[in-house]
Amino acid sequence: MIPEATVARLPVYLRALTALAEGGIRTCSSEELATAAGVNSAKLRKDLSYLGSYGTRGVGYDVDYLRYQIAREIGVTQDWPVVIVGIGNLGHALANYSGSRSRGFRVVALLDADPERHAEVVAGVPVRPFDDLEAIASEHAVAIGVIATPAAAAQDVADRMVAAGVTSILNFAPAVISVPDGVDVRKVDLSIELQILAYHEQRKAHEHERDHVAAAIGGDA
């Protein structure tokens, strides 16, 4: 049983290893890999220890071997069929991104409720009516769905996805969606990320203010 925090970092390690492999590097230490992944080396080693003992003391890790082990653990040695619902600006970006960049996933359908879009072909995949969801999902055994619709439609789309057999949802719509037990939802929200940054930014600004005031009154304690 791998801790959730570790699961969230495994893809980062995988990408770092891929970058090293492309650079022709065959072996790396936990320190090097940790730097490439932007984490602490102790944390990296503990994370990897949940998968097994794939390193060699005194030497480090074999890049290709570790890469395969992590990919297998995550489950991206096979290809997961994915449907994307909502082909606006964001849907376009996601379709292109998933289509070319990332191995492990295959976009089997792009769906949109707007008939205007049904003529389009994005990243080689035609946009089809949202009502085709059930047919496509059962035909390709789709387990992963992406919601890129406006907030108002998100819950409906989620319900239909779940009914069609989808058990993992990636939600880009700025809305909280509720799903039955056994269905995983991950949420990505631009606006929330910006607001978190704004909070810290504001705190920095206040910090400065206090510094200025302190300097002005000559405080040195």
Partner DNA sequence: AGAAGTTTGTGAATGCGAGAACAAATCACC
Partner DNA sequence: GGTGATTTGTTCTCGCATTCACAAACTTCT
| Residue 142, contacted partner among DNA, its own copies, none, CB below 5-8 A by kind | none
Q: Kindly identify the residues of this chain, within the stretch 57-76, that bind its own copies according to CB under 8 A.
A: 73-76
When asked if residue 11 is in the footprint of its own copies (CB under 8 A), the reply is yes
Tokens 């230490």, located at residue = 29
Could you tell which of its own copies, DNA, none binds residue 48, using a CB distance below 5 to 8 A set by kind? DNA
Give the sign of the dihedral formed by CA 149, CA 154, CA 157, CA 163.
Answer: positive
| Residue in the block written with tokens 């996933």 | 105
Q: From residue 60 to residue 99, what is the string marking binding to DNA with x (rule CB under 7 A)? A: xx--------------------------------------
CA–centroid distance for 50 within its chain = 21
- Binding status of residue 51 toward its own copies by CB under 8 A: no
Closer Cβ to DNA, 30 or 98, answer by number = 30
Show the tokens assigned to 140.
């390709």
Residue 30 interacting with DNA (CB under 7 A): yes
What is the size of the binding site for its own copies (CB under 8 A)?
58
Cα separation, 180 vs 178, whole angstroms? 7
Among 17, 28, 33, 36, binds its own copies (CB under 8 A): 36
- Which lies closer to its own copies via its Cβ, residue 90 or residue 136? 90
Q: Which two tokens stand for residue 73?
A: 């653990």
Whole-angstrom CA distances from 162 to 145, 155, 169, 177 are 9, 11, 9, 12
8-state DSSP, 122: E
Matching residue, tokens 């890469």: 67
Residues near DNA (CB under 7 A) are: 3-6, 28-31, 39-43, 45-46, 48-49, 53-61
